[in-house]
Structure 1
Amino acid sequence: MSSSSTSYLLKPVNVTEHLEIINKYESESYPEDEAATYEKLKYRLENANSVFRGYFTSSTCSDDEEKLIGFVCGTKTQNKILTHDTMSVHDPSPNARTLCIHSVVIQQAYRKKGLGLAMLKSYLQYLKDENLCDKILLLSKSHLIHFYESAGFILNGESNVVHGQEKWYELEYKMN
């Protein structure tokens, strides 16, 4: 009798293999007026792939395939503040040192198990290891502020960005 254990890996994702499932998870995780469209997710995968990572299961059983269970994506900007515009376009230049995170998503079946926080911490470590940005900005609903603070983000306050029906709060993570 063999036992298997599951571990999790943060890895690159691509349009061909992963866009459909990423779009499904995004749609299941955010209200319709907040979820990124298929086109926006495709744009981010194609243009901001270095800061778009998937979270995969990795079983010790050889017959088990890796399964995408979540993802984190963002775009980079040269601006130091988060605005609707900085969230809309990816700046690939070396001077774009601020990362705006758009989505932190774990598939419904894997939630409430600490995997979202583990994924986010792995993502932050990846960004540090690759020296991809100096700071990270994101928008959060009030009930998720503690989640992001647990990963090391600091609350900047209410955001001026309007997206959907609810009030958003801006959080920041400094890489140094």
Structure 2
Amino acid sequence: MSNYTADESAADQPINGFKPSSSVEAFSLPATGDDLSRLSARGDFSMANGIPLEEMSDDDDEEEEVDEDYVAVDHADINEVPYWFRRPAVHQRTKLDNLHPFVQVLTVSNVDDCVSVETAFPEQERCTREKFVYRLDRCPELCLGLFTLPILGENQPKPRPTLIGHIVATRTSTPFVTDKSMELPANWQMERRTVENGETVGHDEYGSTIAIHSLAVLPEHQGKQVASTLMKSYIQRIREAQIAERISIISHDHLVPFYESFGFENRGPSNCQFGGGGWTNLVLDFI
């Protein structure tokens, strides 16, 4: 499920609800391969471990692409090269830049923050505090948050970063998000795995599908590209870590174009009855 606003998707309309419901140095992924921390070590995606997103903007990507199109120029003729051809790209600050954002993996210490962000959803579609405790305890490496931290004046105490958007997920062995995958196992603190009618309840550590249960953004920060920034970061992390065959999510119809813009495919109506039903299956395959 998800909640954010219009300019974060191809459709420019405020987003008021979506979601199926549903932390760790760097981005470690136990039971799924090497730690995602190697991503930040490679330096090709600097959004891990609290590094400001401003250092990894779309403009940077555009500059690299433009550089590849430059042609060799004889220095003796440099004055004949048009100014527009040589000048560096100008970065225009956005509403997101003004938040001085950074993303990092969530932990159980962020439960209350996640509960606050989740209020962006209609009450019947919100993840409960108990489910956040379970998911951030059992598979924090699959949960990502976008935080804001203001620039401090001289001698000002360092404030606690504010979580303004999150993606919370678990694993499942099915290709789609299901009601069972969204449930809270009754004895999860005592039992590592709970199976009912052949399907794992909640997080299935052996599952090859990443089931996103919540993509939410605080209402006051919707319309600032928070959701799209989170989703881009999340997809790149999972894709490069090669720890899943696909990412799956359920969405209401008005958010389908948003997910399709990231490569998700519409797989038709979902059987999930969570929050009253009416969901659409969306899948991003990596294989």
CA distance in structure 1 between the partners assigned to 2:176 and 2:251 by the alignment = 15
| 1:29 alignment counterpart | 120
Give the counterpart of 1:147 among 240, 244, 258.
Answer: 258
1:62 to partner: Cα distance: 4.6
1:163 and 2:264 matched: no
Unaligned runs of 5+ in 2: 1-96, 184-201
1:48 to partner: Cα distance: 1.3
| 2:168 alignment counterpart | 73
What is the percentage of aligned positions where both structures have the same residue? Answer: 29
Query: Considering only aligned residues, what root-mean-square deviation do their CA atoms show, in Å?
Result: 1.9
1:115 and 2:210 matched: no
1:73 to partner: Cα distance: 0.8
1:57 to partner: Cα distance: 2.2
TM-score between the two structures when normalised by the length of structure 2: 0.54
CA distance in structure 1 between the partners assigned to 2:239 and 2:216 by the alignment = 20
CA distance in structure 2 between the partners assigned to 1:19 and 1:175 by the alignment = 30
TM-score between the two structures when normalised by the length of structure 1: 0.86
| 2:204 alignment counterpart | 91
CA contact (8 A) 1:141 1:167 kept: yes
CA distance in structure 2 between the partners assigned to 1:80 and 1:44 by the alignment = 19
Instruction: Name whichever of 135-144 and 62-71 sits farther off.
Output: 62-71
1:154 to partner: Cα distance: 1.0
Q: Which runs of 4+ in 1 moved over 3 A?
A: 4-7, 62-66
Tell me which amino acid in the other structure corresponds to 1:20: D
Q: Secondary structure at the match of 2:181?
A: coil
Q: Tell me: higher relative CO, structure 1 or 2? Use CA pairs within 8 A at least 6 residues apart.
A: 2
Q: Secondary structure at the match of 2:168?
A: strand
Tell me which amino acid in the other structure corresponds to 1:90: H
CA contact (8 A) 2:176 2:249 kept: no
1:121 to partner: Cα distance: 0.9
Deviation by residue 1:55-108 (Cα, 9 ceiling, x = unmatched): 11255x355643211100111022233321133311123xx2101100001111
Unaligned runs of 5+ in 1: none
CA contact (8 A) 2:271 2:277 kept: no
Alpha carbons of 1:85 and 1:99: their partners in 2 closer, same or farther (altered >3 Å)?
A: same
